[in-house]
Structure 1
Amino acid sequence: MKKVSLAILVSLSALTGAAYAQQDQGIRMSTDPAKAADIEQRAQDLQSKQQSMESAPPAPMKQHQKGMHHKKPAAPAQ
């Protein structure tokens, strides 16, 4: 019973934290043309960056060199 209570408590606290993090300030409308142009420019930059990453060939994986592993010599039998 203690484990179930603890699991419920942890779940509720996680949900509370997630709900608190989701609170926003709402949508703000701006009529400033400079802000609108800045946001549009950033959106275009992000879109072009995504398109270039999709069209680029995947980067080759860096090869990892493993060192030689030596076994310890067997202890002499007594």
Structure 2
Amino acid sequence: MATKKITITVPEELVEAARGLTDNISGFATEALASRIRRELLAEDLRRHQEEHGAFTEEELAEAFARLTGDDEAEQEAA
């Protein structure tokens, strides 16, 4: 993937916290940005799905949570 150098302004506390976790601030920020983009796109997909098919039921939400967390017992209860 091609990269582009940019300048951003970040609160000092976040920079210090990130430096305490990694030596590669650029990579750390890139991963955080990619994660946020994935969450935003997923949220948009879920919103669109609910507009077309109605709100998720409690059972659907419980099953999704179980699948995301690997909680087989909760998934079986949701079924």
Q: Would the TM-score normalized by the shorter structure come out above 0.5?
A: no
Higher helix residue share: 2
Query: Per chain length, whose mean CA-contact separation is higher, i.e. which structure has more relative contact order (CA < 8 Å, sep 6+)?
Result: 2
Larger Rg: 1
